[in-house]
Structure 1
């Protein structure tokens, strides 16, 4: 049996040998390498957005709806803040909740990469702007690293309007698998009936309190669910 035939047989059987390089095993504890966007203008990204699709590596179903972030930047251009509203899909009261998060820009020459600046978030929390045309759509990747734990990934497809054209959504989704995001769990996020209050929902205050208490274990800040239990 010739060495060439033996090498081919080994490869067919699923082994790596004969001087062929083995595929590098990905480190699931570290954030993926992300190239900086060339000529990225952070100032153009600021303002109001709608999250139209959402992914989180710790979730197999969409827990949130009506997520609407508003981005702002500090006067020294070294910090980015996001204030946002959202609801829980299992909340019959459709209570509109509020959250915020602040990032530092560690390298001013790379304004598309932000690192979380608040102590309440355990580990290193990176956010990357993967792409944006500023006026219509943007794609964000969040990645948290924690010692001795798998990394946590989440992603937003954002639009300036409640609805984004299907061809644009497809274009942005196709950018995500290279960062180990499973598109089967990249869910559309509803942006309808997003202004409900407790009074408008038809539920009295005591009933709303009961509903919230019953689902309290699931009612987590969507940006703080960093790691699988």
Structure 2
């Protein structure tokens, strides 16, 4: 769950050009938006230890690097103080996982993280060490709203956002309130799409 600058734009172009016709995609790819990234609120006095553990993805913006269902993200503390990030999803019936790493941003009291993942071209999703994962809201025990935005080129931006839950399902009123909050802080809530988190999903041990 992350974002990058020019590399993600190239990845997006590659993804769209290599996929089947748009009507069979689980999400509709969008071109980069124009304008600056909005300044969104961030959780203060962020408690990294309480944020660790498993999160289930409930809704998300389209992301070319994440197209499956049954998505989970597992965060664990490593001996060096950084965080392991294991994202797992089911794509066409196959369970896939990728491991990345996260560190807190320059201000450890804020819920901004630098998240990196490997990808097939041999690089990593990163933004020159700048935070690329903002926890906009969380109560640590039930829900989290995460946002990522990177500017590139002449006034373009790529945005991603996720609604997360500690359980496979989040009550509709929670989802509704999180979308209202997203709209208030200039995150386009119309871009969220739900994904499958039902009894057919594998329930992996944490």
TM-score tier, shorter chain, comes to 0.5 to 0.7
* 2-structure distance, mates of 1:73, 1:149: 37
Q: How far 1:29 sits from its partner (Å)?
A: 5.5
Look up the match of 2:14: none
Highest RCO, 1 vs 2 (Cα 8 Å, sep ≥ 6): 2
Alignment size in residue pairs? 163
Q: What's the counterpart of residue 80 of structure 1?
A: 83
Q: Which residue of 2 aligns with 1:168?
A: 174
Distance 1:35 1:181, change over 3 A: closer
What corresponds to 2:143 in structure 1?
Answer: 137
Larger radius of gyration: 1
Deviating more after overlay: 178-187 vs 131-140: 178-187
1:65 aligns to 2:64 (yes or no):
no
Cα distance change, pair 141–83 in 1 and its aligned pair in 2 (3 A): same
Tell me by how many angstroms 1:28 deviates: 3.8
Q: 2:47 aligns with which of 41, 44, 50?
A: 41
**1:194 aligned residue:** 201
Show the counterpart of 1:100.
99
Spell out structure 1 runs of 4+ moving beyond 4 A: 122-125
- TM-score, normalised to structure 1, is 0.61
Q: Equivalents in 2 of 1:42, 1:48: separation in Å? A: 13
Offset of 1:133 from its aligned partner?
1.0
**Any unmatched runs of 5+ in structure 1?**
1-26, 197-229
Distance 2:146 2:105 in 1: 17
Contiguous gaps of at least 5 residues in structure 2? 1-32, 118-122
Superposed CA deviations along residues 163-183 of structure 1, whole A, max 9, x for unmatched, are: 111111111111222454332
3-state secondary structure, aligned to 2:156: coil
**What do residues 133-188 of structure 1 show as CA deviations (whole Å, max 9, x unaligned)?**
11111111122344447221111111111111111111111122245433232111
**Residue deviations 1:96-154, cap 9 Å, x none?**
11123323323243340112346522645611011111111111112234444722111
Match of 2:18 in 1: none
| TM-score of the two chains, using structure 2 as the length reference | 0.67
Name whichever of 175-184 and 65-74 sits farther off: 175-184
